[in-house]
Amino acid sequence: MALDPGVLAAPTVLTPPTGAHVERDLVYRTDGDRALKLDVYRPSSSGGASPVVFLVNGDAPEEIIATAKDWGIFRSYGEHLAARGIVGVPFNHRSSNRMEPTEVARDVWLAIAFVRDRATMLGVDADRVGVWVFSAPRSKRSGKTGRNRRDGRSRSPGFPEDRNGAVCSA
Amino acid sequence: MLAKSGSVRVCGFFLSGINEDRLGEAYKTYQPGAGLLEVPVWLSSGSTDPVATPQAHNLVRASLERTGFKRVRLEQFGGGHQLKLSEVRRALEWFRQVGRF
pTM above 0.90, yes or no: no
Of B1, B11, B81, the CB nearest to A109: B1
Q: Is residue A155 over pLDDT 60?
A: no
Dihedral sign (CA A75, A79, A80, A86):
positive
Report CB contact under 8 Å: A160, B18.
yes
- Residues of A within 8 A of B81 (CB-CB) are 162
Predicted local confidence at residue A94, as pLDDT: 94
ipTM of the complex: 0.88
Interface test with B, best of A56, A135, A162, A169 (most B CBs within 10 A): A162
pLDDT in tens, A120-146: 999 999 999 999 998 865 443 333 333
Count of A-B CB contacts under 8 Å: 80
Mean local confidence (pLDDT), A81-99: 94
Contacts of B60 (CB under 8 A, 6+ apart): B15, B18, B19, B20, B21, B43
In 3-state terms, what secondary structure has residue A165? strand
Q: Inter-chain contact A164–B19, Cβ cutoff 8 Å?
A: no
Domain map (residue ranges) of chain A: 5-164
**pLDDT given at position A29:** 97
Within chain A, residue ranges assigned H as helices are 5-9, 62-65, 72-83, 101-117, 119-122
Q: Which fold has domain A5-164?
A: Rossmann fold (3.40.50)
Query: Tell me: the pLDDT tens digits for A51-69?
Result: 999 999 988 899 889 999 9
| List of domains in chain B | 2-99 (3.40.50.1820)
Q: pLDDT tens, A103-121?
A: 888 999 999 999 999 999 9
Q: What are the helix (H) ranges across A67-100? A: 72-83
Per-residue pLDDT tens for B31-88? Answer: 999 999 999 999 999 999 999 999 999 999 999 999 999 999 999 999 999 989 999 9
B9: nearest CB among A105, A116, A168 = A168
pLDDT at A149: 36
Q: Is B23 in contact with B54 (CB distance < 8 Å)?
A: no
Nearest-angstrom CA–CA distance, B65 and B34: 13
- Chain A residues whose CB is inside 8 A of the B9 CB are 168-170
Cα dist from B52 to B16, B24, B58, B62, whole Å: 9, 17, 10, 15
Sort strands A87-90 and A50-56 into parallel, antiparallel or unpaired. parallel
